[in-house]
Structure 1
Amino acid sequence: MKFTDGFWLMRDGVQASYATEVRSVRADADRFTAHAAIKRVERRGDTLNSPLLTVDCFSPAEGVIGVRTTHLAGKRRLGPDFALPGTDTGVGEVRRDGDLIELTSGPLTARLDTAAPWELTFSDADGHPVTSAGRKGTAFFTTGDGAHHMAGRLALGVGEQVYGLGERFTPFVKNGQVVDMWQADGGTSSEQAYKNVPFSLHLSPAGAYGVFVNHPGKVSYEIGSESVGHMQFSVEDQSLEYYVIAGPTPKDVLRRYTALTGRPALPPAWSFGLWLTTSFTTQYDEETVTSFVDGMAERDIPLSVFHFDCFWMREYEWSNFTWDPDVFPDPEGMLARLKERGLKISVWINPYIAQKSDLFDEAAAAGYLVKRPNGDIWQWDLWQAGMALVDFTNPEAGAWFKSKLKVLLDQGVDCFKTDFGERIPTDVRWHDGSDPERMHNYYTHLYNRTVFELLEKERGTGEAVLFARSATAGGQQYPVHWGGDCWSSFGAMAESLRGGLSLSLSGFGFWSHDIGGFEGTPDPDVFKRWLAFGLLSSHSRLHGSSSYRVPWEFGDEAVDVARRFTRLKHRLMPYLYGAAAEAQQAGVPLMRPMLLEFPGDPTARVLDRQYMLGPDLLVAPVFTADGDVEYYLPEGTWTHLLTGEHVQGPAWRRETHGFDSLPLYVRPGAVLPLGSDTGRPDGDWLEDLTLLVTPDAHQVTVTIPDHSGRPAAVYEVTRDATAGAATVTPPSGREAPRTAGSVDL
C-alpha cells in the first residue's frame, strides 16, 4: 500500500509517524527493546501528546533476527499465527558499548546507535552491510478512513534483486512490483496468487538474505515501487513483526527459513511417476477410465497414478465424499481392478459442503460449519449451490472431516487433490475466535494439514502426498502443490514456470502443473512441448478442464513424446529422489531457479525460462511450435544428456529442437546416476545402475537413496587427469555400475 505522494508529500488523508530517536533501551542477555519517539525531543513538553513506538529485537533461530514494532499494545491478539516449529531460545547475544547496542545471531548482527537518529542496521559476520531500517524504516500510518497501518521499510542495495513472495505469475524479479498477500482464485495470468507467502529472498553482488513478515493476514508490499531504493511492507494492525534471515548464499537463506517454518515431507517415490486424470467437466465412467488406462498400456506409456476429478461425486453435492452410484456403482471393485494394474488412486476434494449434500445437515447440526457474526451459517452460490465452509479451527470438525476421507482410504484411495481453499470469507466468526482477516490466508494451512495428517496416520510416514492448489507460509510441509488453472498456450506454459520458480524461492520443495494447460484444448504443438517440460518437473500430471489429456488425442507424435520423457524421468529417479531428499533435509527445492546454483553469475539472476532440476541437470523448456529456443549455460563444460554433446559456457545459445528433444544438460564436473527401470519410478534403482561421468568430474561421491530417502549405496568416482578414464569404487559387496557419456533411451 502506498502512503506517500512522491518523495515530498503524503497522500490525502494519510498521516505518517516515523521512529525518529531512541528515548530508552532495555537489554537482556539475548534481546533488547528500544522505545522510539516519532519526533525530536528537545524539551520535556515534547514528550506529551505524542506516540512512542516499542521496538523489540530478538532471535527466534540461529542466523535469524526478529523485529517487532508496536504502537498500541492493548489490541487483542486473536490469531491465527504462523506455526514456527524451528523456533529456538538463547541463540542471540546482546552486547552494549556506550550508546551502541548489538544483537548477534550466527552470522547476522542487528545494531542500533541510541545517540544517533533512528537507524536499525543489519550486517554479516564480516561487518558488511546487509540491509537497514533507516529514517523512515519503522513507522505507522493512519488514513482518512480511520485505518491504522504498521510499516517496515528496508533498504535495497545497488543491484539488489527481490524474489519469492509465493507462487506469483508476474515477472520473476519482483523489483518495481506492488504485491499483496491475499489468497485468490485468480488463475495464472494475473497478479493474484493461490499461494501467498510473506517471505522474500534478496540477492545482490554482496550476497543473499531473506525477509519473513510474520503476519498471516494481508501484507502489502511495495518493492522498489513507492520508494525505489526500498522494500516496504505494511499491515493494518497495531503491531508488525518481521525476521531478517542470514545468507550468505540463497541456499543458506532457504535452509534457515525452512528450518524455522517447516521442511517439506518427502513424497513417496511412486508419486514422481506420471499422473493421468479424467479432466474436470468431461464425461467419464469406469469404462472411460479403463479405456484410458488400457490406451496408455497399449502405447507403452508408463502410468503411476490415476486421478478422479470432481464429478466422481454427484452434481450439486460437492463435497459429500460419496461416489456417484449412477456412474460408479461398484467403486471398491473398480479401485481394486485399477490397483491390480499397479496404479495408485487419487480423488478430488475441497473443504466446501454444498447444501444438497447429505453432509450439510450433519455438519450444521454439529456446529462444524463457519458462521456469520449473527450465528447464521455462512453460505453462497458461487462454485456450489448453497455452499458452506468447514471450520477447521474446531478440532471436532477436523476429526469429522478426516472420518469422511478415511472411508475413501478404506475403499482403496491413496491420496487426495486438495483443491481450492482460497475463497475464504471475512464476514464470519470462527469457532476459536480467530481474526477473520488473518484467517483468510491461513485457512489453507489448516485444510491441507488436516488431510495430510490423515494420510500419514493411515498410509504411514513417507506415503502421504497431496496435490494442493493453495498454501501460505509453512504449507511446504504438506507437498505436493500445483500451479492452478492456466490456459492451454505457450504463454501460459511460461507463466506457469515463473510461478513455480517463484514458489521454489519461497521455501516449497515440490511443485507441479497441468501438462498441456487446464482451460481450453491445447494445440498439439503446445501439448508436446509441455509434455517434455512437465515430465522434467518435480511431479507430472496430465489434466484439463473440458477436454481429455490422453496423449493420443494429440496425435501419434504426442504418444512418442509422452513415452520418451516418462521413461527418461523413471531412469532419472536415483538422481531425482536424492535431490528430493535434499529438499526434505535442507529445504533446497527440487526445481531450482538458476540463481540458486549460480548466485555469483549475474546472468543467472534473471533467468525465468530455464531451471536446474536438482543440483546437476539444466532444463530449458521450448516455448515455440517450431522448436526455436534461447537459453544460457554458465561457466564450464556442459554435457547434453540425450546426445552426449559437450558445450562450453558461459554462453547464450539459440537452437531448434524437435518435439523429442530440448536443451537438457548435465552440469560440469557432475556424475549423474541413471536407473535401468523405465517402467516405473519406484523400482530398484541400484539394479544395472549407470553413472554418466562428465569430462570435468575428477573426484565425485555419488549417493543413491532408498525409497525412504536414506542412503542405500555410495560410489566414489575418480578420474586421472592424464588417463581420462573414470574409475568407480563401489560399496562392499556390490559391483561397480557402468559409466556412460549420454543416456540411451
Structure 2
Amino acid sequence: MPLRTESSRYQRLESLSLHASDPVSFRFNTDGGRALLVEAHAPGVFRLCIGGPLAEGRAPSPGAARAAALQDLLARAEPVGEASLEQFEADGQAAFRLVQGDHALELRSAPLRLTLHRKGQPVLASAGGDGQAFGVADGGWRVAFDLADGESLHGLGETTQSLDRRGAVIATDDPDARALPLCWSPGGWGVYANTLAPTVHALGAAAAPSGYVLAIGDADLDLFLFVGDPAEILNQYSQITGRAGQPPLWSMGTWLQQPDGGSADELAGTAAKMRELAIPFDAVSLASPVAWDIRTKLALEWDAARFPDPRHMLARFKELDAKVCAPGFPAVLTASPMFADLEDKGWLLTDDSGGAQAFPGIPATGGAAFGLLDLTHRDVWAFWRDKIRQLLDEGVDAVACDAQIHIPDGVSSRSGDDGARLRTLYPILVKRCLFEAAAWNKTPAEGLVWSHDVFATGQRLPLQASTAVPNGWEGLAASIRAALSVGNSGLPSHAHDIGSPDQPRDGLTPELYLRWLAAAVFSSHFRFHAVPGLLPWDFGDEVLGHVRTWMQFRYRLIPYVLGAIEDAARTGLPVQRSMALAFPDDPEAHRHELQYLLGPALLVAPALEPGDKIRVYLPKGEAWWDLNTGWRYEGGTAWTFECGLDRLPVFGREGHMLCLGPAAQHTGEFNSARILDEVWLFGMPVHNPTVMRNKIRVMQMQGSSYAKGLEGLRILPSEGLEVKRRGAEVRISRAR
C-alpha cells in the first residue's frame, strides 16, 4: 500500500471532545462522528482505537470472523491499567492529559495530535505543522510522528543490515521484508499497530526524513503506544501479544541438518561420525520436501520413496541418542485423489471462483502444485493438529515448517480473510497449530517448531531459525544482526547456522569457521550442516580439536542458556540482547552493535575479521570481569584484546554469577538431580543467577552475600572474595 499525502486523498482529523470516562477507558468524539477510545491498557501502555466495535462501545457482530481473527494477534485484550484524566486549554482548544504514574499521554485538537511523556519529558509526538498526524487516507489510516535528530529506531523484524532501522521503508505484507509489527526507540517509546491489514512503516525515509509515518490499510485504527525502557516495552508488548512457550532441553544441544537431496542413511552415517569423533550433538533435521502428506485418506502418510521404513529410520537415530526433526507442510498435492475430496469438503483455501486454489510448486512440495488446508476452519485445524500429534507420539521429536508463501489477492479462507490479511494470518495459524500439537499435555507449554518464517505473533514460538547469509566474514556479521534484530522485535531465540550450504564455500577459511562456531556457542541454538566443506573434520585436526573444546564449553553453558530462555518466557527479553536494548542510555554502546548480551550476565564480542585482535567496548555504569583472565574492567571503556582461535572476549557482569553444567556428548547425559557443576562469581553476587529450573537465591546482609542452592558445587570466586559454606548456605564476603 503506497504512502499518500495528497489533500484529495487525505482527510485530517481536527476535533476532539470528551464523551465518557472511567479510570481505565476514555471515550472521545472526533470528526464525522468517529469515536476515539483511549485505554490505560497497562502500566506504561496506552491503546488508541478509532472506529470498530471497541471504540464504539459495542460487541462484535455474531460470527464476525475477521474480528475473531484479529483477536488472534492479542493474548490479553483486556486492559489492566488505570489513569487519571486532566483537562486543560491549549491554543484556545480543549486538551486532555491521561496520567499513569510518571508517564502521560496528552491529546490535543485542531488538528488531532498526541504527545507521550516519560517522567515529565516528551518522548514521542505527532508530526507538527501540516504533518497530517492522524487522518483517513485511501480507505485506511495514516499516522505520523516527529523524530528527534539522530534518534535511532529498532525492531520491525529481521535485518542483516544496520540494527538501526531509520531510513527504511518496511511493508508488513511482503514476505521478503521479514517484518514484525513492533517499533521502539532507546529514547523511551514504542509503537505497535494491531492489525492484520498491510501496514507500511516509513522510518525517517525520503518522503519524511524527520518523521515516522505509518500507512495502515485498515478501516479501523488500533494502536498501542508504549513508554519506558526498551526492556519494559518488550515486557509489556509480549504480555499483550503473547509470550513463547519453552523449547525442550535437548534443543539447546547442537543440531545436524541433512543436505538437500541427501538420504536418511547418509545423515545417520554423518551423525555416527560425530559421535565417533566426540563432537557433541543432540538432534538431526531432515531436509525438504515434506516427509509426509495427505494421499489416499484423511491421514498423514510418510513419503515411501524417501522413507520406506520410517520406524527403522527413527530407531536408528534413537540408537545414536539423536532427536529427529522432520519437515511438514499443511498442503495436499493437486495430483492426489484427496485434493478433489478436500475441495468438496470446503477444507482448502479457495480462489475467486470458489474452487480450491492451486498453488505452484515450492521446495516443501518437491516442486509439485498443491492446495493449502484452510486452518481458519475449526475442523481442519483439529485434523491437522491431531495428525501431527500422532506423528510426534510415534517418534518424531519436532516439525520444521516454512509457511510464509505468497497468497494471491483473490484467495480467501472460511474466516473471510483474503489477500494481504491472509498472508499475515496464515503463518500465524500454521505455527500455532504445530506448537499446540508439540506442547500437548505439557505444563508449562514445551515444544518446538523449526521455522524460518518471520510473522506477527512469532514471539509466541520459542525459536526462530536462521536466514541464509554468505560464507564470509560479512556473512558472520549478517547472521548476528539477524539474531539481534529479531530479538529487538520481541522474538526470544534465534538459531544460527555454521555456514550456509547454498552459498559458495571458497571463503570459509578454518579461522572463519572457528570464529563462527565460537559466536554460535554463545547463542540459544545452532546447527551444523552435513555438507562437505561445512563439517568440523573438513578443516584438519587442529580445527577439530578447537571444535571439541568449544563444544564442551557450549554444553556446560546449557543450564545458563535455558535459564535465559525461561527468563524470556517471564519477561519477553530475548536470549541475545543488542546493545541498544540492554543499554539504552549509553549511545557509545549502540555504535558497537555486533556485541551483545547473552542473557543478563555475559557480554560477548564476536571476532568479525581475520586476526587475533578484537576491539571491545564495555558499557558504562557497570564493571566487567574477563572470563579468560579473571581481570576486572570498569565500564565506559574500550579495549583491544588478543584472542587466539580457542577464545573470544567474553565478560561477566559485576554482581552476577555464571552457573555451568558438566561436559557431555548430548543432553541425555545430564543428571537431572545434579544439572550444575560449577559457579563463577563476577564480584560480590547481588542478583539471583540465571539458570534453568532456578532454585538458587542470593540475599545481602551486613556486607556479605548469602546464597542458597549451591550445595556440592565448586565455586570460583573473583579476586578479593572468600567463600565459606555453612550447611546448606554459602557466605560470600570480602577477603580479610
What does the per-residue CA deviation read over 1:596-621, in whole Å, with 9 as the maximum and x for residues that have no partner? 22222111224321211111111122
* Contact 1:14 1:141 (8 Å CA) reproduced: no
User: Equivalent residue for 1:42?
Assistant: none
CA–CA distance in structure 2, aligned partners of residues 741 and 339 of structure 1? 42
Check if 1:259 corresponds to 2:239: yes
- 2:342 aligned to which of 350, 356, 363: 363
Report the counterpart of residue 132 of structure 1 in structure 2. 125
Q: 1:168, CA displacement in angstroms?
A: 2.5
Residue 614, structure 1, aligned to residue 594, structure 2: no
Over 3 Å counting, the alpha-carbon distance change for 1:458 and 1:293 in structure 2 is farther
Matches within 5 A, 1:312-331: 313=291, 321-331=300-310
Structure 1: how far apart are the matches of 2:336 and 2:42?
A: 46
* 2:145 counterpart of 1:154: yes
CA distance in 2, matches of 1:599, 1:174: 16
* Letter of the structure 1 residue corresponding to residue 235 of structure 2: R
**Alpha-carbon deviations, 1:281-302, whole Å to 9, x = none?**
232232x122112111111111
Q: 1:139, CA displacement in angstroms?
A: 3.2
Alpha-carbon deviation of 1:729? 4.2
1:454 corresponding residue in structure 2: 437
Q: What are the equivalent positions in structure 2 for 1:340-419 lying under 5 Å apart? A: 340-357=319-336, 360-383=339-362, 384-419=367-402
More displaced, 581-590 or 79-88?
79-88
1:428 counterpart = 2:422? no
Match of 2:9 among 10, 15, 35: 15
Give the conservation status (yes or no) of the 8 Å contact 2:294–2:300: no
Asked if the contact 2:411–2:418 (Cα under 8 Å) also holds between the matched residues in 1, the reply is no
Matching residue of 2:41? 60
Select which of 256, 261, 264 maps to 1:285. 264
CA shift for structure 1 position 628: 4.9
Following superposition, the deviation at residue 200 of structure 1 comes to 0.6
Residues 1:246 and 2:227 aligned together: yes
CA 1:360–1:579: 2 relative to 1, 3 Å = same
**Amino acid aligned to 1:535:** V
d(CA) in 1 for partners of 2:526, 2:219: 44
CA contact (8 A) 2:126 2:144 kept: yes
CA distance in 2, matches of 1:294, 1:71: 59
Q: Which residue of 2 aligns with 1:178?
A: 169
CA contact (8 A) 1:509 1:583 kept: yes
Cα shift at 1:466: 1.4
Aligned runs of 1:258-657 on 2, under 5 Å? 258-279=238-259, 281-286=260-265, 288-311=266-289, 313=291, 321-357=300-336, 360-383=339-362, 384-457=367-440, 461-522=444-505, 523-525=508-510, 526-543=512-529, 549-635=534-620, 636-655=622-641, 657=643
Aligned match for 1:691, one of 670, 679, 694 = 679
The verdict on how the C-alpha distance between 1:650 and 1:350 changes in structure 2, with shifts beyond 3 A counting, is same
CA contact (8 A) 2:327 2:400 kept: yes
| Deviations 1:460-517 (CA, angstroms, capped at 9, x unpaired) | 6454111122143322112211123333232222222212211111111111132212
Q: Give the distance between the partners of 1:312 and 1:19, measured in 2 at CA.
A: 51
Kindly state the Cα deviation for residue 740 of structure 1 after the two structures are TM-superposed.
5.3
Structure 1 contact 372–427 (Cα < 8 Å) conserved: yes
Shift in Å, 1:278: 0.9
Distance 1:399 1:272 in 2: 30
Q: Which letter maps to 1:85?
A: A
Match for 1:304: what amino acid? D
Question: Partner residue of 1:227?
Answer: 208
Q: Pick one of 87, 100, 104 that aligns with 1:97.
A: 87
Bigger Cα displacement from structure 2, 261-270 vs 550-559:
550-559
- In structure 2, relative to structure 1, the CA distance for the partners of 1:440 and 1:667 (3 Å cut) is same
Matched residue, 1:739:
716
Helix, strand or coil at the partner of 1:197: coil
Aligned pair in 2 of structure 1 residues 241, 138: CA closer, same or farther (>3 Å)? farther
The one of 108, 111, 119 equivalent to 2:106 is 111
> Using a 3 Å threshold, how does the CA distance of structure 1 residues 259 and 712 change in structure 2: closer, same or farther?
same
SS in 2 for 1:457: coil
1:96 and 1:645, CA in 2 relative to 1: closer, same or farther beyond 3 A?
A: closer
- 1:27 aligns with one of 13, 17, 20: 20
CA root-mean-square deviation: 3.3
Contiguous gaps of at least 5 residues in structure 2: 89-93, 720-736
1:684-740, Cα deviation, whole Å (9 max, x unpaired): 47466222122xx224344464xxx543333569997xxxxx9864449x3353215
Displacement after TM superposition at 1:640 (Å): 2.7
The answer on whether the counterparts of 1:276 and 1:307 sit within 8 Å (CA) in structure 2 is yes
1:655-666 pair list within 5 angstroms = 655=641, 657-666=643-652
Q: How far is 1:432 from its partner? A: 1.6
Q: Secondary structure at the match of 2:467?
A: coil
Would the aligned equivalents of 1:61 and 1:86 in 2 still touch at CA under 8 Å? no
- 1:65–1:108: 8 Å Cα contact kept in structure 2? no
CA distance in 1, matches of 2:172, 2:237: 18
- Cα 1:582–1:90 change in 2 (3 A) is closer
Query: Please, which moves more after superposition, 711-720 or 290-299?
Result: 711-720
- Segments of structure 1 that go 5 or more residues without pairing to the other structure are 5-9, 38-50, 187-191, 721-725
1:380 to 1:580, Cα distance in 2 relative to 1, 3 A? closer
- Judging changes above 3 Å, is the alpha-carbon distance between structure 1 residues 533 and 492 closer, same or farther for their aligned structure 2 residues? same
CA offset digits 1:641-697 (Å, max 9, x no partner): 234354444333344543322222222333211222333346247466222122xx2
**Given the two structures, how large is their TM-score scaled by the length of structure 1?**
0.85
Shift of 1:199: 0.8
Structure 1 residues 360 and 108: CA distance shift in structure 2, 3 A: farther
Alpha-carbon distance in structure 2 between the residues aligned to 1:64 and 1:355: 48
> How far apart, in 2, do the equivalents of 1:90 and 1:386 lie?
48
Displacement of 1:438: 1.4
Identity of aligned residues (%): 25
Kept after mapping to 2: 8 A contact 1:532/1:561: no
* Distance in 1 (alpha carbons) for counterparts of 2:34 and 2:586: 41
- Contact kept, 8 Å, 1:702 with 1:717, in 2: the verdict is no
TM-superposed CA distance for 1:357, in Å, is 4.7
Task: Tell me, yes or no, if the aligned pair for 1:274 and 1:303 is still in contact at 8 Å.
Answer: yes
SS of residue matched to 1:310:
coil
CA, structure 1 residues 616+173, in 2 after alignment: closer, same or farther (shift >3 Å)? same
| Structure 1 residue 385: Cα displacement | 2.0
What is the alpha-carbon distance in structure 2 between the residues aligned to residue 473 and residue 534 of structure 1? 26
Number of residues of Structure 1 aligned to a counterpart in Structure 2: 690
Q: Which amino acid aligns with 1:266?
A: Q
Contact conserved, 1:493 with 1:517, CA < 8 A, in 2?
no
- Corresponding position of 2:76: 86
1:63-78 alignment, distance < 5 Å: 63-70=44-51, 78=66
Aligned-partner Cα distance in 2 for 1:653–1:227:
39
Structure 1 pair 534–599 and aligned structure 2 pair: CA distance change class (3 A): same
Equivalent residue number for residue 120 of structure 1:
114
Which is worse superposed, 451-460 or 352-361?
352-361
